[in-house]
């Protein structure tokens, strides 16, 4: 039996409200409906984790919620048309597209990078709890999990584009004319995840060096 704490209840409540808001009058209902496949799949994985009594620390719950919110916003506007640039410009007065010379909408790239960043620690923690593996082995397995699931999702997008065809298929595929879109998305997820592991390693490096130094002088 799952007994959620206050933080978990708050996170679930916020995610539910965001999903309900984004479900109202999406820019393209058919595209929004297709994107719910990923949402339902994520919920199924979370239900399995609860059933298997996988416990995630608060920072892992928050990171997963951030990914969910980013994905849900993308489903409302469609990934190719999410108006991130006008939103950022309204807050800062700076247009990222003008600054970097971008001609495509990069919101999909942002979410793919978040996929690796936000699931890096939860995925590693999952392997540690289920298999009792070391930090290195858990990170290694989690990296393969993120890369493989990213590739599977790209294949699913390709199949959906073939099945539905036309504007809906291309909208769901979201390549925006980039022939290397799938490879870039997978690479961004892997890069985001490995960056998190590198930062965590550097964070704990001084403590490891102190322990090693004490062992040598003992």
- Which tens digits make up the pLDDT trace of 127-138? 999 999 999 999
Candidate from 154-163, 182-191, 205-214 with smallest mean pLDDT: 205-214
| pLDDT tens per residue, range 75-111 | 999 898 999 999 999 999 999 999 999 888 999 999 9
Tell me what the mean pLDDT of segment 176-194 comes to: 89
Share the mean pLDDT of the chain: 89
What is the dihedral sign for C-alpha 24, 46, 70, 174?
Answer: negative
Residue-level pLDDT at 103: 86
The pLDDT value recorded for residue 91 is 94
Q: How much is the average pLDDT of 142-157?
A: 93
- pLDDT at position 1 over 60: no
Per-residue pLDDT band at 2 (split at 50, 70, 90)? low
> Which pLDDT score, from 0 to 100, does residue 215 have?
64
The DSSP code for 28 is: S
pLDDT of 163: 81
Share of the chain above pLDDT 90, in %: 61
How big is the chain, counted in residues? 218
pLDDT over 60 (residue 178):
yes
**CA distances, 72 to each of 17, 38, 46, 115, 206 (Å):** 11, 10, 16, 13, 39
Alpha carbon distances (Å) from 63 to 69, 114, 147, 215 = 10, 9, 18, 36
CB atoms within 10 A of CB 217: 6
Which of residues 164 and 47 earns the better pLDDT score? 47
Over range 169-198, report the average pLDDT. Answer: 84
């Amino acid at each position: 039996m799952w007994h959620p704490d206050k933080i978990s209840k708050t996170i679930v409540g916020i995610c539910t409200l965001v999903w309900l808001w984004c479900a109202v009058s999406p820019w393209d209902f058919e595209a929004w409906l297709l994107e719910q496949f990923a949402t339902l799949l994520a919920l199924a994985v979370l239900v399995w984790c609860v059933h298997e009594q996988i416990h995630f620390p608060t920072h892992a719950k928050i990171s997963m919620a951030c990914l969910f919110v980013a994905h849900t916003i993308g489903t409302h506007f469609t990934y190719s048309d999410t108006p991130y640039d006008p939103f950022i410009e309204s807050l800062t007065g700076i247009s990222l597209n003008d600054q970097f010379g971008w001609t495509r909408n990069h919101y999909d790239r942002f979410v793919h990078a978040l996929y690796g960043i936000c699931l890096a620690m939860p995925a590693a923690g999952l392997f540690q709890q289920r298999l009792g593996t070391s930090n290195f082995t858990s990170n290694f397995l989690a990296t393969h999990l993120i890369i493989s699931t990213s590739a599977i999702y790209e294949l699913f997008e390709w199949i959906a584009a073939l099945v539905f065809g036309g504007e809906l298929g291309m909208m769901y595929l979201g390549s925006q004319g980039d022939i290397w879109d799938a490879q870039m998305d997978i690479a961004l997820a892997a890069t985001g995840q490995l960056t998190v592991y590198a930062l965590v390693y550097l964070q704990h490096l001084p403590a490891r060096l102190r322990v090693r130094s004490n062992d040598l002088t003992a």
